[in-house]
Amino acid sequence: MNLSDSKYSRYSICKEMLETADVVKNFDIESVDPYLEIAGSKRVLLTGEGSSRIFPAKNAICTARRLGSGSVLFTEAATQAMEYSLSDAAVFVASNSGKTKECVSLIRRLKADNHRRLCGVVANADTPVEKETDLHYILTCGSESAVAATKSVVEQALFYDVLFRKSNRLPLPDLSRLSEEMRKAMEMRLPEEITRRLAVSTTLYWAGRNDGTAEELTLKSNEIAKKKSDFLEGTYAVHGIEEVMDPTDAVIIIDPFESEEQKFREVLERGVGLSVFAVCDRETHFPTVRTGSYPEFQPYIEMAAGWNVLVEVGVKLGIDLDKAERARKVGNEYPG
């Protein structure tokens, strides 16, 4: 992805993806301080819909489990969360628009029950999610023109990441280093073999850890490359779904488990006959999009590389990367 080339610069999403590197570099680590008390609650729900929840919440949860946390972090979509007991939990509600119907409904249900630990994470001020929560954080990344959210997703994730790291006195990111690695991942040239094969795939599967990266790229495959796509958590790809896979499908594994690479080759490449690729900071048994390395913050770099892949696929297919026929910027807007 190179903005000096008109085949990329014509699309807002390419500009917004690359702006993400500056959003990361300029993130104010002290901006999370007003939220440290609520983040220290025993239980913390990170909710929202679509891209506002998948990577931001699951990346934070995965980090907390790996490094240890004084709080139990969990996530659920807002409507289902209304069925849970949340009286002892702090609740962070992420909604770029600040008008997402499910989020507003959850906030109002909790307030009716006298819940007093609600924090909104929004891109727009003077919206229901911002006005009706006890605390709110307003994203600094600016507006997005493309239907698919990109830079806002990363800022939401970074807000949670820095907040819970500070709350638990865990190592904080070197933002300049992370920004540079993300930029490299977005701007690197991809092997033609990978782009060509993915462009003609019938279904594009993303496999990987349950840290939100592969799952978010699954959603972006729908929105950007207009591909049918599915997320295969962990090693699920070799536990039955191969029965309905087809040689015209393709699988991209984010940071494969080294111990399971041979099994993936046996079941998917040899058994099904489909193509398997990887996004990783090392060489794998598969054709690999090789990224730079920043171990504790690798998911951000993998996300950037995945965006690059999807842009190249979309450009090769000649589709409009910014617009969709049915998908909307606000999936389900509160009518009030």
Q: Parse the chain into domains and list their residue ranges.
A: 6-172, 177-317
**Span between the terminal Cα atoms of the chain, in Å:** 40
Query: Which residues in 318-333 are b (16+ Cβ under 10 Å) and which e?
Result: eeebbebeeeeeeebe
Per-residue model confidence as pLDDT tens digits over 280-323 = 999 999 999 999 999 999 999 999 999 999 999 999 999 999 88
Cβ partners under 8 Å of residue 308, min gap 6 = 1, 185, 186, 187, 188, 190, 289
What is the rounded distance in angstroms from the CA atom of residue 270 to the CA atom of residue 253?
16
What is the rounded distance in angstroms from the CA atom of residue 221 to the CA atom of residue 314?
9
**CA torsion angle 40 88 209 30 (round to 10):** -30
CATH topology of domain 6-172: Rossmann fold (3.40.50)
Whose CA is closest to 46, among 33, 61, 57?
57
Specify whether the CB–CB gap between 275 and 245 falls below 8 A: no
Residue 100 gets which letter from DSSP?
A: B
Q: Indicate the pLDDT class of residue 149, thresholds 50, 70 and 90.
A: confident
Q: What is the pTM of this model?
A: 0.94
What are the residues facing 48 on neighbouring strands? 94
Specify whether the CB–CB gap between 239 and 194 falls below 8 A: no
What is the rounded distance in angstroms from the CA atom of residue 166 to the CA atom of residue 30?
10
Domain 177-317 has CATH 3.40.50.300: no
pLDDT at 329: 46
